[in-house]
């Protein structure tokens, strides 16, 4: 499988180079040259396969022969090492829980897969690689955990000061070893821009790769859980609608790739908070990114989502084709809190703010009697403890994964500008 830059000014490259380099020389995101649908027999008989077998079938064409099949199966076994349960909320709605991994967020899948791919590709390289990543919350913790102790790999995480939850901050600032955290005076978009600038800087770029969802090895494995959900639901004989809480739009883009592979998904809903760049684009056809605004669903506080260009590519930049299969709605913090209360009152289910936004998207879309809606619960409620316990009459139990870090001492460095980041990387 070869990959091309969506800026179309760089030569095509291999999966390995796309993973190791993260972003194309022309600063474009890499995209697979071909997407070959899976066999109808596989889709129709998906219940006959284990999750590991499903994941292997889904990802193998994107890796090609660059990782031997047995090694790829080993990587998948280490990646898909926890459950992805569907929890029914009402007769035609369920939550797909993606938070049962080591950092209790959906990004554990992509981070674990990418970490192992990069370690494999770097096994014979004497030079160390620096993984540079920006986070609006959960990416940092997942990447830190996934790469912790990886041979020949250092990790530098940029996060916006005061704009991630306390637990999220502990997960990315307390592990030590090969993990370093830089606290940026700004918002997530500032962090993301610093990362992109670093990849254009010839003095340092040769040793860098990215673990944001701009990296194909972080982005593509997110297809897996759409297939796992279909496996659990396909016998319902209802058309599936997925509502995905969306910030940088990598997760929902992976879902659309799953659809292109033949997964029978009727419609996607990209549910956002008040950072409404994409919902506005679907209304007026004008893409107008703007500075992000802080919300209680902070992992979605993104004003210029990087992966939306991949979604446009999947629909040949045809906005009418996009609108027919994809909707996007934005919601306020007040609506999010009210929905958390509604879900809890009617079903007893404790949703985190991001899951609540996903649920709101399904309600706004308006399911009919022949449709079944799935909203992605992307993080455990404990990661937003203050918001959840202020909103709901509950006391959230602290899971073992969180107990391991919650009392650890935060270690971070301040970065006020790109120069501060560059100086740190050149030490």
In a domain, 200, yes or no: no
What residues make up the domain containing 337? 83-104+219-398
pLDDT digits (tens, 9 = 90+) for 48-64: 999 999 999 999 999 99
Structure tokens at 376: 């992605």
Q: How many domains does the chain have?
A: 1
| Distance, CA of 352 to chain centre | 16
pLDDT digits (tens, 9 = 90+) for 148-168: 888 778 899 999 988 888 888
pLDDT at residue 242 in the model: 98
In a domain, 242, yes or no: yes
Question: Angle at Cα 108 formed by Cα 103 and Cα 354, nearest 5°?
Answer: 75
Q: Report the percentage of the chain scoring pLDDT > 90.
A: 64
In a domain, 87, yes or no: yes
User: Which residues on adjacent β-strands are paired with residue 94?
Assistant: 88, 374
pLDDT digits (tens, 9 = 90+) for 259-315: 999 999 999 999 999 999 999 999 999 999 998 898 999 889 999 999 999 999 999
Quick check: 169 and 159 in contact, CB under 8 A? yes
**Which stretches of 27-171 are assigned E, i.e. beta strand?**
30-32, 86-90, 93-97, 129-134, 153-160
Domain with 374 in it: what CATH number? Answer: 3.40.50.1100
Gap between the Cα atoms of 227 and 46, Å rounded? 9
Quick check: 394 and 344 in contact, CB under 8 A? yes
In a domain, 204, yes or no: no
pLDDT at residue 20 in the model: 87
Confidence of residue 206 (pLDDT cuts 50, 70, 90): low
Positions annotated as catalytic residues are: 107
In a domain, 278, yes or no: yes
Residue 172 has pLDDT above 90, yes or no: no
In a domain, 59, yes or no: no
In a domain, 337, yes or no: yes
In a domain, 333, yes or no: yes
3-state helix, strand, coil split of the chain in percent (to 5) is 45, 15, 35
What does the pLDDT average to over 304-328?
Answer: 96
Gap between the Cα atoms of 55 and 78, Å rounded? 12
| Distance, CA of 34 to chain centre | 22
């Amino acid at each position: 499988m070869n990959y091309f830059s969506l800026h179309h000014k760089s030569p095509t490259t291999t999966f390995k180079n796309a993973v190791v380099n993260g972003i194309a020389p022309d600063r474009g995101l890499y995209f697979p040259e071909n997407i070959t649908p899976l066999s109808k027999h596989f889709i129709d008989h998906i219940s006959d396969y284990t999750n590991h077998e499903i994941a292997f079938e889904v990802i193998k064409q994107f890796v090609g022969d660059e990782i031997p099949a047995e090694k790829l199966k080993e990587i998948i076994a280490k990646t898909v090492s926890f459950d992805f349960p569907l929890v029914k909320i009402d007769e035609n709605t369920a939550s797909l829980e993606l938070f049962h991994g080591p950092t209790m967020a959906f990004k554990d899948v992509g981070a674990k897969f990418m970490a192992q791919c990069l370690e494999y590709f770097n096994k014979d390289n004497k030079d160390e690689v620096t993984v540079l990543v920006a986070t609006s919350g959960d990416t940092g913790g997942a990447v830190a955990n996934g790469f912790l102790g990886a041979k020949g790999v250092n990790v530098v995480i940029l996060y916006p000061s005061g704009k991630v939850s306390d637990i999220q901050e502990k997960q990315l600032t307390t592990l030590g070893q090969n993990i370093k955290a830089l606290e940026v005076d700004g918002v997530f978009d500032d962090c993301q821009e610093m990362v992109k600038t670093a990849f254009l800087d010839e003095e340092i770029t040769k040793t860098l790769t990215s673990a944001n969802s701009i990296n194909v090895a972080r982005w593509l494995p997110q297809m897996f859980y759409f297939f796992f959900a279909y496996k659990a639901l396909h016998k319902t004989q209802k058309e599936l609608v997925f509502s995905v809480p969306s910030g940088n739009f990598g997760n929902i883009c992976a879902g659309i790739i799953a659809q292109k592979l033949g997964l029978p998904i009727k419609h996607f809903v990209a549910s956002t908070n008040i950072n409404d760049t994409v919902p506005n684009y679907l209304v007026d056809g004008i893409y107008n990114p703007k500075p992000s605004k802080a919300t209680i669903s902070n992992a979605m506080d993104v004003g210029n989502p990087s992966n939306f260009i991949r979604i446009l590519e999947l629909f040949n930049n045809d906005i009418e084709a996009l609108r027919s299969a994809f909707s996007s709605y934005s919601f306020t913090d007040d609506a999010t809190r009210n929905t958390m209360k509604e879900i809890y009152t009617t079903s007893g289910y404790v949703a985190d703010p991001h899951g609540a936004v996903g649920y709101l998207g399904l309600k706004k879309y308006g399911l009919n009697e022949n449709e079944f809606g799935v909203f992605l619960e992307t993080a455990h409620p404990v990661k937003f403890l203050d918001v959840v316990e202020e909103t709901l009459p509950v006391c959230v139990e602290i899971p073992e994964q969180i107990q391991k870090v919650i009392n650890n001492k935060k270690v971070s460095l301040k970065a006020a500008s790109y120069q501060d980041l560059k100086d740190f990387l050149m030490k």
